[in-house]
Amino acid sequence: MSDPTSRRDLIIGEAPGTDEQVHAPVRELLARLHRQKPRVLGFPTDLANDFSEAGALLSMLTNNAGDPARSDAAGNDTKPMERAVIAWFTALAEGDPHRTYGYVTGSGSEGILFGLYTGRRRLPRAPLYTCAEAHYSIRKAACLLRMDLVEVACRADGSMDPDALHAACRARRRRDTLTGRRPRGAVIAATVGSTIRGAVDDLPALRAAAAPAGAVHLHNDAALGGLIAAFSPSRPAWNLDQGADSLSISGHKLLGCPVPCGIVLTPARLVAPAPVGAYLGTDDHTLGCSRSGLAAALLWMRLRRLGTSGVRDLVHHCQDTAAYAHTALTQAQAHPERLPDAITVTFDRPPQEISARWHLATQGGRAHLITMPHVTRHAVDALCADLTRTGRNR
């Protein structure tokens, strides 16, 4: 159904559009995006990168159909680059380089869905345990996979409470025992870097807490927090060697890939047997079959340019800016809070005009900013000046 409020210059009609009719709205769009870039403080996407040198990749379709392990019959893929990306993330996540399956997903939410689908196959009767501050796409995944969703209480910092998880699993086990059922197990959707506060779930503690349920599959939604955890001084447990059975990381957040994408990893032994698409000539364990070859190539370019040391420096730069923002917001009397090593800083929710101007994410009485690489100290100072000015005018 068409939107009657659509701009007339964007309407696609019967007649072909002229070059100017096509290019003028695109120029306007780019101008708007560049104008607002310095003020996008509340959402975890790095806007500092310029991938225009990769423009030649747009000269044809690149479709990574099926598994990245080998090229498909069509051959118009970027799978060698995808394999290099997956190998880098596998090493970072301390997975076995020869026994870890992964691919470049279309989004972080697809990675969550794949991880929970893997858990659902392993433990078809198990409930899905998550907490209120986990990403909302986990609830969509539970609906799609027809999993019984159990919401577990959070601790004060917004992470899942292991004691509450233990109590929930024990209660389920007790009910199953009374009805003569075998233990169902537990699928846990944990988070490293929660949406609002950047909270980090304690993966080993959650796995231990779920013991009364029986077998456990723990998926770690590490969309933003995985890269932060890997290079943080506190080094929280987050990876395949520290309690995760599957994990997903975003490619367009900290790394700033200009198309939404992500990475999902899991031990190959946990992946379902794959159908072979006869016409494709390759196995396909992925959820979508056709996947963006462009995303894989752009991710490879970004990582190859940075190297591991560059990603480490990027994380530390963001953490330094977050520490600066916490100090500046304290001076602006905005009552900020920042969890250890987080690049998310929450503070008192400002009036709507300030939230809109600075593209802040808000929930209840709080707002947050996320110090992505494009967020400068100058921008933080300008936000604090607006907050101080508003406070004086109340």
Tell me, yes or no, whether 378 lies in a domain: no
pLDDT tens series, the chain, 394 aa? 455 557 889 999 999 999 999 999 999 999 999 999 999 999 999 998 899 999 999 999 999 999 999 888 888 999 999 999 999 999 999 999 999 999 999 999 999 999 999 999 999 999 999 999 999 999 999 999 999 999 999 999 999 999 999 999 999 999 888 887 888 999 999 999 999 999 999 999 999 999 999 999 999 999 999 999 999 999 999 999 999 999 999 999 999 999 999 999 999 999 988 766 657 778 889 998 899 999 999 999 999 999 999 999 999 999 999 999 999 999 999 999 999 999 999 999 999 999 999 999 999 999 999 999 999 999 999 999 999 998 754 5
From 228, 256, 196, 255, select the one nearest 37 (Cα to Cα): 256
b/e map 11-21, b = 16+ CB within 10 Å: eeeeeeeeeee
Q: Which residue has the tokens 């090593």?
A: 341
Tell me, yes or no, whether 78 lies in a domain: yes
Helix, strand, or coil (residue 20): helix
- The CATH number linked to 76 is 3.40.640.10
The sheet carrying 344-348 orders its strands as 344-348, 366-370, 361-363
Q: Which domain range does residue 214 map to?
A: 58-305
Tell me, yes or no, whether 95 lies in a domain: yes
Domain count, the chain: 1
What confidence score (pLDDT) does residue 4 get? 54
Tell me, yes or no, whether 175 lies in a domain: yes
Considering all CA atoms of the chain, what is the largest pairwise distance in Å, rounded to the nearest integer? 72
Question: Are 344 and 338 in contact, with CB atoms under 8 Å apart?
Answer: yes
Report the C-alpha gap between 64 and 316 in whole angstroms.
33
Tell me, yes or no, whether 391 lies in a domain: no
Tell me, yes or no, whether 370 lies in a domain: no
Residues 6+ apart with CB under 8 A from 41: 358, 359, 360, 369, 370, 375, 379, 380, 383
Report the C-alpha gap between 153 and 162 in whole angstroms.
9
Tell me, yes or no, whether 29 lies in a domain: no
What confidence score (pLDDT) does residue 1 get? 47
What DSSP letter does each residue of 318-358 carry, written as one string? Answer: HHHHHHHHHHHHHHTT---B--TT-SEEEEE---HHHHHHT
Sign of CA dihedral 299, 47, 200, 125: negative
Tell me, yes or no, whether 151 lies in a domain: yes
